[in-house]
Amino acid sequence: MFDKGALLVVSGPSGAGKSTLIKTILQEQKDIYFSISTTTRPMRPGEVDGKDYYFVTKEEFEKDIEEGMFLEWANVHGNYYGTSLRPVLQALNEGKLVLFDIDVQGFFSIKTSDLAPLMTSVFVTTPSMSELKERLEQRGTDSREVIQKRLENAQKEIVHMGEYDYIIINSDLEISKQQMRALATVARLKHAQDEIESFIKNWCKS
Ligand code: ADP
Ligand code: 5GP
């Protein structure tokens, strides 16, 4: 009926649980595509190139910017992160729900892009900053210096949480997973004006 897919943008402080929640949805649902970002940050233990991110050099990233390859890109915590446009458009044309784990700057870029009408957004956070610090320390993938940078950035990001459609306070993981499942379902029900007009035309003829 509706050919186009939809976008679900997930943002929130690093360590809030975005990847954990996204993984759950990817394992459970069909017709879903995770937008694998490109980054210049070093790979963490356990991460896989081409699965978690495409890891590239600063020079490679800057070449892609010049060639207009990105739907959006940003400098986060001193590293480049970006979303390539082409695979997103392909997944949308295949009717898939496209999941993004991107920062607040990336969210604003998509919000002002042609894809905005297809976007649902959710901000994921911990109940407190001390809980965020604890999770980052427990995850054990970042140095003390990097954790400090992420906590400072979190304070800048959190002031924008009210600009998202939905908010998940990730305290009890099972409840958060349930909320994320609900959002993935709701996001698929969003349609752009041109799709709606074409549906109405066909509806009247049928
Ligand atoms: P992000 O993708 O937002 O950076 P992660 O998904 O990597 O965050 O989660 C950060 C850490 O917190 C991980 O070690 C994860 O297992 C843990 N975590 C996620 N959700 C919860 C939760 N509700 N309660 C406790 N720990 C959690
Ligand atoms: P991390 O280094 O913890 O994987 O990610 C750091 C931050 O970068 C997170 O807030 C994450 O959402 C954001 N991020 C990851 N990929 C992208 C992207 O392609 N674009 C933007 N704007 N932010 C991204």
Residue 7 class from Cβ within 10 Å (0-12 exposed, 13-18 middle, 19+ buried)? buried
Architecture label for domain 6-35+97-205: 3-Layer(aba) Sandwich (3.40)
Task: Please report, for residues 154, 188, 190, the alpha-carbon distance to residue 136 in angstroms, rounded to integers and kept in the order given.
Answer: 12, 32, 34
> Position 179: which residue type?
Q
- Out of 139, 151, 179, give the residue to mutate to test ligand 1, the one with the largest number of ligand atoms within 8 Å of its CB: 139
Q: How far apart are CA 19 and CA 189, in angstroms?
A: 23
Query: What tokens were used for 161?
Result: 């949480």
Q: How far apart are CA 201 and CA 20, in angstroms?
A: 41
Whose CA is closest to atom 23 on ligand 1?
Answer: 173
CA 187 to chain centre: 13
Q: Which ligand has the shortest distance to the CA of 64? A: 2
| Residue list, ligand 2 pocket, CB within 6 Å | 11, 14, 37, 41, 72, 74, 76, 81-83, 101-103, 105-106
Longest dimension (CA), the chain: 63
Q: How far apart are CA 62 and CA 95, in angstroms?
A: 31
Lowest mean pLDDT among 1-5, 88-92, 129-133: 1-5
* Structure confidence at residue 77 (pLDDT): 84
Nearest to 13, CA basis, from 101, 109, 100: 101
Asked if residue 132 lies in contact with residue 154, where contact means CB atoms within 8 angstroms, the answer is yes
* Structure confidence at residue 160 (pLDDT): 98
For 23-58, how does the pLDDT look when each residue is reduced to its tens digit (9 = 90+)?
999 999 999 999 999 999 999 989 999 999 999 999
For 176-191, how does the pLDDT look when each residue is reduced to its tens digit (9 = 90+)?
999 999 999 999 999 9
Whose CA is closest to atom 14 on ligand 2?
Answer: 102
How do the domains of the chain map onto residue ranges? 6-35+97-205
